[in-house]
Structure 1
């Protein structure tokens, strides 16, 4: 007899139902896993609120740590060639790399046009477990995954397949380098990972934030300067403060991870002439802000929007965590754990910023 698993299904915005299904066997090239830990990411909150441009319902979740339960035929290694067997802990990229669409054929695997072919589908469609807010999760053929290094705390590894991978990719895209100054708009999960990466790259960090808990965590991650927007209440005041910290020039690199449209409009005022601006946080089309294109042109700023990441960056993220786990308090990024059936509470408290990041632990008795 096949096992029965549970999953969290978003029927409509802010309405989540727990459903049960029989867990199918993995097809050739796929893996059936048991979910050890699934984190509540900002993307889930966008979907839960009804702000995602395409996904309005379906099985929730994508940031995850999995334990291999059954291997489909033709699967004996991860995507780095490491031998894989039942019981191993793995981190999957949350999207497909189809290798046949126009984007993949141009090596833009992060833009694969079939990336979400198996994600956030209705639960009645086999194999049912399309998201990670569940007891089980299927890793499909052409979905990159990597074994968790033995030295790495598994709970920390659960976040590697989203925020850290994306920020490693994004900061490489804007050529962040030694002795650069980077201004980071927002100190949520994306922002804190950005601080750690920037510090390891030898950059000086300026963080703009206005929530006490997030400011404390930014300092714990080694932020060199904090601009509290409760103190510096206007764009002009914040831009002036950035200039004071950068010899009157502005930052070399700006990173928008606040997810607020007005932050994007502000960003170009914080950056020096010829600087670079990484846009990551605003992912929901249809939300607008006033913008000064003339200032952008006269400052000759390069804007680099990034969605997802080249899938092998997940391997880089796991290695980054392994190498730097004692340098930064990654363990503290998860500040609340919930059972899978408490998903509504986890989403609501994450949305209100009562907690920084929640973890769902299926079938686990929270202490």
Structure 2
């Protein structure tokens, strides 16, 4: 209703094509439209989020946001967390040891979701000291991937999972990490690809590596409405359990969007927030 706080799916879907129905992949709808990815000439023109207004299209998943979830946290839900909810839903329930490659927003959310499910052998790898400092507060064990430290920190993973971890999630967008991820996986393990959504992601691996270890590789791109609904329920349940607000910068006024972009480039915060309305 009017004045409800809401979030919405990153894309709409028709609900009728084969991807929406038979394949249960509405995020890959044949006529999918993604907010923030279109030109002003596409659709209504009011498609972007760095604006005072946006026009939501039919087929967009809309979810009410409880008052207990701050704006800065809710803003990260409809891409980062919902995508992680989708990716983690593919990991077998029997998994007890997981490695997360990347301690950005997706990686830290993955730590929180898996930790909340009871996993304690949960390792998050990165080279950024500031982001690694957040890992333990989201339930993970920080693993420093800088050359001078990684050999020693890697032993923590091997000691906890001598035959290899049950799953690895790639959320760093770095193709060079995949070879190490395969080495860390046990035979029969699960490898989730989430971050490498760009053309510079050629993989240097052989079919033999996958076949001999009987690995499952699962790509996850975006999410459907059910994942967005689940992520809002998760935030409402755990809002006091993890320091979500530390992931996001203080808000920049929309008029200072250029300054916000420079702040994002500094990587001081995992996400930089922009206040959409003009006072």
Q: Same fold (TM over 0.5)?
A: yes
C-alpha spacing 1:357/1:117, structure 2 compared with 1 (3 Å) = closer
Moved >6 Å (runs of 4+): none
Partner Cα separation in structure 1 for residue 191 and residue 239 of structure 2: 28
C-alpha spacing 1:138/1:176, structure 2 compared with 1 (3 Å) = farther
C-alpha spacing 1:307/1:354, structure 2 compared with 1 (3 Å) = same
* Corresponding position: 1:135 with 2:52: yes
* Corresponding position: 1:279 with 2:193: yes
Partner Cα separation in structure 2 for residue 170 and residue 310 of structure 1: 11
CA shift at 1:295, angstroms?
A: 2.0
Mapped contact 1:94–1:161 kept (Cα < 8 A): yes
Mapped contact 2:143–2:154 kept (Cα < 8 A): no
Q: Partner residue of 2:97? A: 181
- Pick aligned residue for 1:99 from 3, 8, 15: 15
Bigger helix share: 2
- Pick aligned residue for 2:108 from 192, 209, 217: 192
Q: Partner residue of 2:145? A: 229
* Corresponding position: 1:218 with 2:135: yes
TM-score, length of structure 1 as denominator length? 0.70
Partner Cα separation in structure 2 for residue 90 and residue 340 of structure 1: 19
C-alpha spacing 1:342/1:129, structure 2 compared with 1 (3 Å) = same
CA shift at 1:134, angstroms?
A: 0.9
Mapped contact 1:96–1:142 kept (Cα < 8 A): yes
Query: Which string of whole-angstrom CA distances, capped at 9 and with x for unpartnered residues, describes residues 104-141 of structure 1?
Result: 13222122122226653322556321111111111111
CA shift at 1:238, angstroms?
A: 6.7
Q: Partner residue of 2:268? A: 354
Q: Partner residue of 1:162? A: 79
Unaligned runs of 5+ in 1: 1-84
* Corresponding position: 1:251 with 2:165: yes
Partner Cα separation in structure 1 for residue 208 and residue 261 of structure 2: 40
CA shift at 1:176, angstroms?
A: 4.3
* Corresponding position: 1:297 with 2:211: yes
Q: Partner residue of 1:116? A: 33
1:196 is paired with a residue whose SS is helix
Query: Which string of whole-angstrom CA distances, capped at 9 and with x for unpartnered residues, describes residues 281-302 of structure 1?
Result: 1001243242243222211111
C-alpha spacing 1:195/1:176, structure 2 compared with 1 (3 Å) = farther
CA shift at 1:156, angstroms?
A: 1.6
Partner Cα separation in structure 2 for residue 176 and residue 186 of structure 1: 22
Report which of the two structures shows the higher radius of gyration computed on alpha carbons: 1
